[in-house]
């Protein structure tokens, strides 16, 4: 039965360095998939390991359903084996000397489940992960993707209250990774288990998560639906980490509602979306996704002329480097034709709702 997970003011300090997790709070509703996304070292794995009980938190409360499983200030620390959690890791943690069926049956055997029930549950789990016809094969005779399916079936077979997945696709080749990525969401949803999925790959996060929690330096910066993360990133780091590769520096010269007029360093004026805290006169950094730039113009706001400095044809899309505002912007256009040759001039339209202004003292995270 799936249950809610609640993490309150979690802190983990290792013996050296800054806290690996610094006051992180979030909930995962029963049956929900939350993806923890962030660069290497941001604290995703440590958060997951604290939930699993493999790491001892320094402070904070972790509850699964009605059970408080960890509360160091109150001396509570439930051992991992009592938490009834399923786990799938990067490495294929399968037992090489067993068949597929024996691997998946193992947790039930360990729990002394009657044979008939075990067989039924193993059959169901193998069907869900698409491995029914492989059940009698030695597990070592499978591909990497199939081994991860075995690991997944083995974690689901005893109906854990929570499923934790730590970069389960990162050892697979690109093609298998895409296939299993799409299947994983269907499988997790079909079993209705509450899940946390850790990755540094934003494409994986968008496909898999009901909500995505973006982490950096031990903090949770934004926890929201993939669409909200993508369309209204909370800060410059979230915008950049999820693919806003363009940045325009300027100064706010006028505000109205949640928009304002920004003057670039080279003197052009653009209308952009601005947070309330940014007052007239403030320096601002505008983040902009390559696909937000409308090549060929359109509309009557934020129309400029740019020069094509370079272009890279990818078959189904073309990436252009545009010289404009005294710098460069990267633009992306879908389609199988290169419409603007290098050296040509092109009109561009920049929709104000997709130009996100942030305080200029925010760090962008581009160093990661
Ligand atoms: N056992 C440990 N002892 C000391 N520091 C640790 C330990 N485990 C993790 N850390 C530190 O805690 C921070 C967070 O690490 P964590 O593994 O949670 O990050 P991550 O976001 O999962 O990164 P990755 O994707 O590389 O695994 C890092 O600075 C890391 O060096």
Interface confidence, given as ipTM, is 0.95
Please check whether residues 94 and 222 belong to one and the same domain.
yes
254 and 232 assigned to the same domain: no
Running DSSP on this structure, what letter comes out for residue 216? Answer: E
Model pLDDT, residue 364? 62
Q: To test the ligand 1 pocket, which listed residue (37, 42, 201) has its Cβ within 8 A of the most ligand atoms?
A: 42
Looking at the fold, whether 303 and 164 belong to one and the same domain comes out as no
Query: Residue 348 phi/psi, 5° resolution?
Result: -125, 145
Tell the residue nearest (CA) to atom 30 of ligand 1. 41
The CATH number covering residue 285 comes to 2.40.50.140
24 lines ligand 1 (CB under 6 A): no
| CA–CA gap between residue 82 and residue 78 (Å, rounded) | 7
Q: What is the CATH number of the domain that holds 59?
A: 3.40.50.300
Per-residue model confidence (pLDDT) at position 219: 97
- Residues 187 and 144 both lie in one domain: yes
Q: Residue 145 has what pLDDT?
A: 86
Q: Does one domain contain both 216 and 255?
A: no
pLDDT value for 299: 81
Which residue owns the Cα nearest ligand 1 atom 10? 20
Answer yes or no: is 106 within a domain: yes
Look-up of token digits 């509570």: 76
Domain of 355 in residue numbering reads as 244-359
Query: Which of 41, 220, 241 gets mutated to test ligand 1 (max ligand atoms within 8 A of its CB)?
Result: 41
Which distant-in-sequence residues (6+ apart) come within 8 Å of 114 by Cβ? Answer: none
Closest Cα to residue 143, out of 175, 113, 116? 175
Same domain, 224 and 270: no
| Ligand 1 nearest-atom number relative to CA 36 | 21
- One domain for residues 227 and 248: no
Our count of domains for the chain comes to 2
Find out whether the beta carbon of 199 lies less than 6 Å from any atom of ligand 1: no
Distances (CA, A) of 366 to 156, 229, 242: 38, 17, 11
- pLDDT string in tens for the chain (368-residue length): 689 999 999 999 998 889 999 999 999 999 999 999 999 999 999 999 999 999 999 999 999 999 999 999 999 999 999 999 999 988 777 888 999 999 999 999 888 898 999 999 999 999 999 999 999 999 988 888 889 899 999 999 999 999 999 999 988 888 888 888 989 999 999 999 999 999 999 999 999 999 999 999 999 999 999 999 998 899 999 999 998 889 999 999 999 999 999 999 999 999 999 998 899 999 999 999 999 999 997 888 999 999 999 999 999 999 999 999 999 999 999 999 999 999 999 999 999 999 999 998 776 654 43
Cβ atoms 214, 229 nearer than 8 A: yes
**Residues 155 and 296 both lie in one domain:** no
Place of tokens 């090549």: 295
In the three-class reduction of DSSP (H, G, I as helix; E, B as strand; rest coil), residue 110 is classed as helix
């Amino acid at each position: 039965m799936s249950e809610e997970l609640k993490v309150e003011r979690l802190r983990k300090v290792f013996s050296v360095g800054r806290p690996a997790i610094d006051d992180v709070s979030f909930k995962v509703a029963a049956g929900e998939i939350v993806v923890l996304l962030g660069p290497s070292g941001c604290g995703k794995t440590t958060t997951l390991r604290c939930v699993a009980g493999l790491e001892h938190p320094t402070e904070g409360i972790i509850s699964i359903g009605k059970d408080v499983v960890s509360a160091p200030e109150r001396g509570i620390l439930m051992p991992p084996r009592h938490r009834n959690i399923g786990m799938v890791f990067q490495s294929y943690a399968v037992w090489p000397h067993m068949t597929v069926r024996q691997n998946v049956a193992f947790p039930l055997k360990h729990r002394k489940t009657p044979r008939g029930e075990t067989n039924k549950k193993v059959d169901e789990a193998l069907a869900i992960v698409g491995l029914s016809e492989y059940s009698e094969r030695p597990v070592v005779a499978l591909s990497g993707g199939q081994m991860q399916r075995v690991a997944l079936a083995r974690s689901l077979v005893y109906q854990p209250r929570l499923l934790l997945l730590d970069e389960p696709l990162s050892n697979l080749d690109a093609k298998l990774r895409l296939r299993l990525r799409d299947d994983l969401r269907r499988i997790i949803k079909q079993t209705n288990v509450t899940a946390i999925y850790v990755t540094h790959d934003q494409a994986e996060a968008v496909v898999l998560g009901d909500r995505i929690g973006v982490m950096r330096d031990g903090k949770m910066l934004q926890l929201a639906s993939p669409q909200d993360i993508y369309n209204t990133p909370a800060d410059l780091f979230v915008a950049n980490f999820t693919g806003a590769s363009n940045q325009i520096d300027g100064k706010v010269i006028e505000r109205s509602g949640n928009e304002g007029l920004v003057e670039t360093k080279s003197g052009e004026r653009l209308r952009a979306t601005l947070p309330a805290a940014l007052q007239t006169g403030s320096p601002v950094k505008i983040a902009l996704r390559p696909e937000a730039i409308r090549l060929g113009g359109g509309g009557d706001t934020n129309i400029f002329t740019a020069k094509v400095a370079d272009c890279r044809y990818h078959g189904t899309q073309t990436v252009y480097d545009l010289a404009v505002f005294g710098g460069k912007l990267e633009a992306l256009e879908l389609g199988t034709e290169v419409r603007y040759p290098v050296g040509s001039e092109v009109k561009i339209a920049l929709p104000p709702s997709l130009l996100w202004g942030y305080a200029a003292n925010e760090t962008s995270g581009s160093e990661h």
